[in-house]
Structure 1
Amino acid sequence: MLENYPFAARIKPMMKNRFRPVSDWKGPYVDSHLLDKVNARVTGLDLDTGKPTTGEQFIKPLSPQAGADLLEQTKPFHLDEPDNFFSELQPCGLFDDSVLTEDAENEARFFFQFIDYSLTRNENEDGFGTTIIPHLSRWGMFQSNIQRLTRIHPTRNDVEWQVQGVFRCCTGPLEPDSLCTRTLDTSKPQLSCFLSNLNPPRDGELTTGELNAVILLALSQAAKKEYQGHQVFPITVVCGSDRTVRIVQGLVDLPKQAVELRVSPIVQFPRGKDTNWDGFRTLLGWFLGNPVGKTT
């Protein structure tokens, strides 16, 4: 990994002392011994406001009502009738988000597809026109190109957990139908992602995938030239397994070689998004929030 980043020298100690023990950990959940080894502490996180139990806030999520207003403007689907992607009880059942598959990681992957669809589509089938990302938000969505952000289950020969999408802060929204590319806002090192996980979130426990995603994504940001002025890297992981979702916000402090993990309550979507619209719009707000806090 390090050879791909010209400014990797400053993350080498943390790669060795913090990430390697996490990467080598084979269990589905993290124990207190591993947390101590990587100098990590766990605190709480308010799902609605983004305020941590202790410490500085780094993301102010968009409110559910503001998210609803954006969806009403872009209309990626019709809220009052079945749509052609995920909806309740479609006859064929292929994209019916009220019916669970037999694989928790795969089910979470489908759930993220609906998040992606909500943020990057509109009512125009030709794909032109205004969408939330990139036209109504300063956030941009990127593919994860880090191989270690996918883990294969040791016995199932299938994906155990995987980062599905990475969101970075840009300088501003794009004009509709603009041919310009997004420009990263290098004053904001905050990064968000969705993690599909075979292992469900549990109260009082962190999954191995959540801790891997926090540390590796933070160090990959820290190794980039454009973020050399920052010392603290806030990473927000929206972790899904089946229809169980929670948020883990990690702060990686390079000078202290420390990790703070802020964990939200668990949100359930047992019958799809249509039975918990407030919860779904709350999750969308985390991908569209305002980055705040001191990182230098």
Structure 2
Amino acid sequence: MHDHIAEVVKQPALVTVRPELICLRFEILKVPSALGAVRRLLDSGTVRAGDTLVDSSSGIYALALALACHRYDMRCHIVGSTTVDPTLRVQLEALGATLEQVDPSRSLRLDQGERVRRITRLIERNPSYHWMRQYHDDIHYLGYREVAETIAREIPTGPLSLTGGVGTGASTGAIATRLREQGRDVRLVGVQPFGSVTFGAEHITDPDMIIAGIGSAIEFRNVRHRLYDQLHWLDFEHAMAGAVGLLRDSGVFAGLSSGASYLAARWEQERDHARTHLFVAADTGHRYVEQVYARHAEALDIDTLKPHEVTGPRELSAPWSTAPWR
């Protein structure tokens, strides 16, 4: 029996989509990160029960941190983007978290930058608050060690390829790091939207892209670039096609970043049959019903899609590009 729902939510499920292609399916990807970070802060005496933890979020980290604060009797304040929808807002309020949303911005860069500036001013006025710094602090790597242990237990032998979104970098980077520490041969494939600065795609815009959680318009200092072997950049239409295709192929109802990761992982598997391929489904598809799933009849046929293979960011072009990184 579990002491708190967060302990259940942090556990991923491994679902076979087709032979040697497995979905690492989370309900809320960043719960392991938030739980691990808060537990370390409490154990080290950096914070105490009852303190206020603050961070910026465009979606699932907000709920993850609210659950971790509920689990450990902490207060939670979120500076959120305009993509925080009514369903998430209600959950945050019911969990006792407070939400402060920034005004709509013309771009992801303005949105993320304003959220960080707002937190900086908030910390200056309330020095007892602790900024979780999900974009910058390596403490967020800790919680994913258990996820790596689950993969090692469920898939005990053989080389792996792990494909997933690169937001803060803590999820895919941390899982691959732990598996490699155990001696596993792991190829790490990162997925990015166009417009993200982390891997040099800021010069290409995609006005329809609504998965800010896997991209960055400002520097994210806890992304360890050296960990990644291959990068894929996809636009909204391709991420949508992947999400709808994943639901049709497997019944897994997941978000846009999951669709992008599924599409990239399928391409990776076609080129390398010697590995077991895992891809990360970071959250469920409920946030994307109107923008994505209600339009399922319009989705591109994923069997007809392939990326433009390039050697580096300067050669990138929409709608889908891929390049070796390491």
Q: Is TM-score (shorter-chain normalized) higher than 0.5?
A: no
The structure richer in helix per residue is: 2
Which structure ranks higher in relative contact order (CA pairs < 8 Å, sequence separation ≥ 6)? 1
Q: Normalising by structure 1, what TM-score?
A: 0.30
Q: Normalising by structure 2, what TM-score?
A: 0.28
